[in-house]
Structures are given as structure tokens and as C-alpha cells.
A = this chain, B = another copy of it.
Amino acid sequence: MSGDGHFDRVALIGLGLIGSSLGHAMKRGGLAGEIVGSARSDATRARALEIGFIDRAETNAADAVKDADLVVLCTPVGAVGAVAQEIAPHLAKGAILTDVGSVKASLIDDVGPHVPDGVHFIPGHPIAGTEQSGPDAGFPELFDGRWCILTPLEGSDPDMVAKLSSFWEACGTKIDVMDAKHHDLVLAITSHLPHLIAYNIVGTADDLETVTKSEVIKYSAGGFRDFTRLAASDPTMWRDVCLNNREAILEMFGRFSEDLAAMQRAIRWGDGDALFDLFTRTRDIRRSIVDAGQEVAAPNFGRDPAKED
């Protein structure tokens, strides 16, 4: 085993946006001797082979993990427990078992008990994605410049954590390590709440009787369209996130709702100074995100014609 992020055989369980992007990234970097992919749908497996981000497809996850020295669970978070149970007897001694799930504490509860002795279970989460899903959604650059958070268990072998870190770095990410509970809190505000708020406002707009859907669509460039991107994300994935990170999400919901009530009150009472202060304070954070390389600097995300300089 080397520290260069290379594995002899990698098994991808689930071939959606993240699984397919990981396949592309491994191909780009020459990170795997063989990539074996497993998905329940015949069409998905056939398409994955056709695109070529896996070398071999298996119907059953249990067959895919045989002799793999890296197994990556890329299914929605709600399915990982059943998958872990299915593959457990077939995992190779010394293999690393990881995942890409957006929730970590419940996943450790679901997967951990099935992991046999001698298999290194190191949960992970690359903070990258698009609103698209399925085997056609992946591309090799998805992880470039993004962060991957690893949440090793107590007693995880540091050499194995280092090996998995090298693998993700070779896929383009930077690495952070934290405990699962903190990960779930951080993601609740940076990812889960934004998606849920976006789903919610799009749902609200869809339900109005005083404004037609056609009007919402035509005038969406006033701001609304931004939210429709997150609200077009995979429903199964996000249902599972809600069901598996309930506590942290509800805590962040509580904070958000308190702040929203304060804003409503400021609007109702015409407190322009309070509104101006908030609207000024929030400007800085975007600049910081651009400076940190996590966002483009171009106006409108660069989607409109470039301004002339």
C-alpha cells in the first residue's frame, strides 16, 4: 500500500452523481487498477460501462466488493445500512470501507455494526455536487478545489486515514478531519438548511393563487431562479438527509426562524436601520467565499453575458 492514493481494486456501490464523478476522477488520475461498479438498475450499470467510468459492473453489491481494497458507498444515506449488511461477509481483510453521505452520525450507527474485524471503516463526505443526478451527471472535475471531510471512528488506524486522504487529494479535494456530530451540525447550516429553504420557497411560489406559475417563471430572474437550482436536487437523497440529521436540522431551522421573525418585525415596523445593518453585514461573507476559492467572482455566477471591462 502506498501513500499516493492508488488502490488495486475500487468498488463503487451506487453510480449516481457522486459515484460517477468519483469513477471519472479515478480514471483521470489513474488511481485504481480496476473500478467495479454496482447499481440496482440495469440501465444505470449499462450506461456506466458505456460512458466508461467503471471497468466492470455487478448487479449485486456483494459481488462488487470481492477483493476490493477500497469500497465506497455512494447510495443515498437511507440505503447504506442495508448495503452494509449485504456486503459485510464479502469484504476483504484490510480493505477500507468509506462512503460519501451528507450525514455522518446516523450513518455510523447504521453501517458500523456490520463492519467485520480487519476492515477499516472511515466515513467521508466530499462537499461537492450539482443539482443533477444519475450516471450521466458525473464529471472528473467535480471535486477539484472542494473539501472532503473524513470522520474517522475512535481507534481508526491513522495509516488508513492517511491513505484515504491521499486518495481524495488525488481526486482533487482538500481534506479536513472532524467528529461525526460536528460534521452534521456544520452541514446542517452550510448545506441542509439551504436546500430545505430552497425547496420550501419554490413550493410556496408553486402554491400561490394570486400569482400564476407563468408569472413566477417569467420574472424569476429577479432572484427566485437561484433557489430553483437547489430545489431541483435529488428527492431521495434529500428525504434521507432530513430523516437522518433531524436534530441538527431542526436546531438550525429554529435559529433561522427566530431571525426571520425579527426581520418580519423590522419590515412591519419600518425599521430601516436594522434592515440596512443586516443587508450590509451579509455582503462580506460572499467575498470571503470567493477569496477561499469556493465560488466564482463573476456577477450572476457568470451565467449571464460577461460584463465589459
Contacts and interface: CB of A to CB of B under 8 A. Distances in A.
A230 interface: yes
Given A225-B289, A228-B285, A267-B250, A259 B295 contact: no
A217 interface: yes
A286 B224 CA distance: 10
A225 B292 CA distance: 12
A242 B219 contact: no
A207 B296 contact: no
**Could you say which interface size class chain A belongs to?**
35 or more
Interface in A44-97: none
B229 A226 contact: yes
Interface string A285-309: 1111100101110111111111110
Contacts of A288: 213, 217
The 10 closest A-B pairs by CB, nearest first: A191-B222, A139-B307, A130-B299, A235-B279, A194-B223, A141-B305, A228-B286, A301-B301, A231-B282, A202-B282
Given A217-B294, A220-B295, A229-B300, 10 more contacts: A193-B201, A194-B222, A198-B223, A203-B278, A206-B285, A223-B230, A236-B276, A238-B279, A253-B267, A295-B303
